[in-house]
A and B are shown apart, each in its own frame.
Chain A
Amino acid sequence: MRSQSVGWLFLAPTILILFVFGVWPFIYVMVISFFDWNSFAADPTMRFSGVQNYRALVFDKGFLMALWNTLKFGVFAVTSQVILGYLLAQLFMKNFPLKGLFRTVHTLPLMIAPVAVGATWRLMTVPGLGPIPYYLDKWFGYEFLISRYVGQAFMTTVVMDIWHWTPLVTLTLLAALSSMPKEPFEQAQIDGANRVQTFWYVTLPMLKPAILSAVFIRLMDAMRTVDEVWMLTGGGPGSATRYIGLYIWRVVFPKTDYGYGSAMSLITLYLTIVMCWLLYAGLVARRDLKRPE
């Protein structure tokens, strides 16, 4: 009995922090989402509106567009990061000159704050000043103008995210590759498996937990991307890079539509959870179900 009390005592600070900074704000946001509350409205008080905010979301073209853009962004960025991250991890498994230096330099983007990454990429892409539009024009005669061309802006945000976060995937997969036992590979070699078969039937299954962890982390991050994109494009041109995090920020802060923004946040959280669950169910749980007794 006494040991239980001591345990709770030690846990108390964590529980308190979790409640103050996690549970209570979540409940607060949930409650607000059922109210019509804009502090700059004719009536700035909170008025109960039932599920009106949730209903309005279904018809909000801006929200749906932001959601769709975010999904596209997430799929493009995360898929590229996993493929590139795996290739780099395999590269780092081999020995080559200046490997240590290359690995350190490759990891540097991880240490940079997202807002600084956005600012750096903005400087690199701003017309009349940035090297990217300058050299694309000089060498290829290609007009690179992310403040005007929707496709260019979208792809630049994807490339920026890949540049920033691929090292995380690389390090995750490198750790997984380093800890793999040699025996299955030796066995595959004895059985006459070629490189593709070895990758498909040996490396990939053993790497799957690490890949899934990386995908979950990166996908959740992609769903809440704000600062990098805000610095680079401000969500433009038009709504091309107005991803869901940025859209929610605009609704809640400049627009001060707290009730609607709260509903949007909760729906986005719910969709993120559902997406991760579907991914888990599709890639892991289904395989477990198929496994013979």
Chain B
Amino acid sequence: MNGPGLFTAHVPGTSVVHQMPLWLKLVGVLGVGVMPWVTQSVWPLALMTLALAGVVLAARLPARRLARSMRGLLPVLVVLLAFQWWSHDLAYAVRVVLGIVNAFVAAGILTATTPVTDLLDGVVRAARPLRRLVDPEVVALTLGVVVRSVPWVAGSFSSVRESARARGLDRDPRAVVVPTVVHVVAFARSTGEALAARGLTDPADDDAPGA
């Protein structure tokens, strides 16, 4: 449906970034995510963008994957920049956009340098204290499915847009948004059915071998 972006799959490697403990990567992503709320200046965010580019290089992640990921995000960023500039000022708009870019790249580095199964194990461990409220395996599975679905949804949007363009309807938002939503709902249903068919949504206590 689409080529691989940073979110699509783990990139095996032996770099320092790959070998970092999961908790440190998660703290890093969290830190990058909250940064726009704790700084009033553009410069720390711009420096963070450069630092993240350095991390991408250090992890030897293919630059074309990052470029492909960013290309999908670019139209949204342009619209957002214009809107925030219009409704606030340019400095504010740049801060918002850099905050999103940084969070996007940081999350991409996390998923590209960490096998999803390690992420799932980490989430299961983190959610264990809440097991009376929610099954940690279900939380982890949900995260895994979300990570895998991001490129699918982006690819679906792109295919629908191409179809709309072929019909001369690419300027009509309904011709793009409605079919994309229909595709995503159908994909969610089929993914849910696949998970159920594999018994991955069955309660854990009914699952012990020989039960």
Q: Do A and B come from one complex?
A: no
Which residues of B pack against A, CB within 8 Å?
none
